[in-house]
Chains A and B, each alone.
Chain A
């Protein structure tokens, strides 16, 4: 009895071979077409996507580092430029100040000079005027004196005498 059962255990049944072969081969084609192909391609695509994402992240990192160093460089440049600008401005300010100062001094001197000249001129004019006035006053005085001196005959004679005395004949 046991031998028969054992025999049955290791004797492949034709029906099951038939059905298994049909089912398995059908399954290979059906799954291959409708399941594994889309699944495998999707998985592969995802893997590719992940790989690309990682790569671009790495690239972005490098880019970031480059940008950072660039920024630093630009910042440094800007800083030095600012310093240069400030320095220049300071210089310009100084020169302008100096120029202004010297110009002011010059102007002041010039004005003073002019004033001085004008004063001298005015003084001279005043002196001339004064002289003229003094002359006219003198003449008037002289006239008045003369008039008073020559108001009588006596007086006229004395004067002529005096004058004659003064005039020494050489």
Chain B
């Protein structure tokens, strides 16, 4: 969809729709008879902003640049499906920008349709709307009854992720080469002077301060998380960017890795605390399930936090621009653009902040899983002994 999150894109959008509405007015004025065309244009201006906003932040099988419907300009991406007949690969352009399930693509002896960016096996014949889908209406909602293949497509989000990987690898490896070339005796320059503080910050203020002396071992992992999220957050804010970090599948995958890393590195004290918490035994019936749920709620919170923060920012910006179309007046546009710009600047901060929070909390979880609880206990004991000694002396 066309509605965008960046102010530049918003401006272009406003100009575009101004032209469209002006054109439609002219049309209705000059040729009253051609009501059909005017109706379609009226219809186009009358967009469901909620749908636009959600379509904007959701994943897509092609990388949309501009335009609507069959005239849209987009970069086709490979569709990879695990079907009943094995793996099927074809270009997303074969759907011809259709996301309403009206165009059937036949490949490998199977027929597919794209309905709202989800691939289904096509029905044998079209329904009354021309869709090769069998749908059941439940109140206002349409429930698609068609089966769908496993979709491993290189979607817009995956493509964006690949771009981010190229950027991160280029940054990381060229930085490593810079250190090798200039050595450590010269002051950092160029990329180094920008990235080194970030790297040192992650190592010292995230890894070491939350994990302690073992922090350095986890610094590479935390640095990877930090830069992966940060670069993807920034890419998501660019015009035409994909909302990867605001996608729950992405945050889920990162959280699962965090969950695995945390629990694989969990020491005896950590597991002891879960399966034999310091409480009366009859409380174990409640405490152990709570502790086990706790293992999963921590990364779950990470997943929801990043997803919700990034998605919310994008939705707000699309909604602000959408105000123009809800009120159907250009007078709102200065307000919309000003607020969208404000939120966009705020999103710059959020992009950095969310990368930091995700990394920091991951470090915190690893820190609690690897901390020596005995050390604290010993220290407490010593303190108590000291106190009793001092009281005895009195």
Interfacial residues, chain A to chain B (CB-CB below 8 A): 1-6, 8-21, 23-28, 30-32, 34-40, 42-43, 45-46, 49
Contact = CB atoms under 8 A, between A and B. Distances in A.
A8 B118 contact: yes
Given A4-B116, A8-B118, A38-B179, A27 B253 contact: no
A1 B54 CA distance: 11
Interface in B247-298: 247-250, 252-254, 256-257
A53 to B, nearest CB: 10
B58 interface: yes
Give the contact-size bracket for chain B.
Answer: 35 or more
B252 A27 contact: no
B172 A1 contact: no
Contact of A24 (B48, B51, B257): B257
Contact of A1 (B51, B200, B253): B51
B352 interface: no
Contact of A9 (B54, B142, B219): B54
A24 B221 CA distance: 10
Contacts of A13: 59, 151, 155, 247, 249
Interface stretch (B90-98, B123-131, B161-169, B370-378): B161-169
Given A20-B161, A31-B168, A39-B179, A10 B141 contact: no
B116 A39 contact: no
Interface string B193-204: 000100110010
B221 A14 contact: no
A64 to B, nearest CB: 24
Interface of B: 48, 50-51, 54-55, 57-59, 80, 116, 118, 140-142, 150-155, 157-158, 161-162, 165, 168-169, 171-173, 175-176, 179-180, 184-185, 196, 199-200, 203, 216, 219-221, 223-224, 227-228, 247-250, 252-254, 256-257, 311
A18 B161 CA distance: 12
B253 A17 contact: yes
Contact of B253 (A8, A21, A39, A45): A21
A16 B59 contact: yes
A13 to B, nearest CB: 5
B18 to A, nearest CB: 28
Contacts of B179: 38-39, 42-43
B51 A16 contact: no
B158 A36 contact: no
Nearest to A21: B253
Contact of A27 (B150, B168, B180, B184): B168
A13 B161 CA distance: 15
Contacts of A2: 50-51, 54
B250 A16 contact: yes
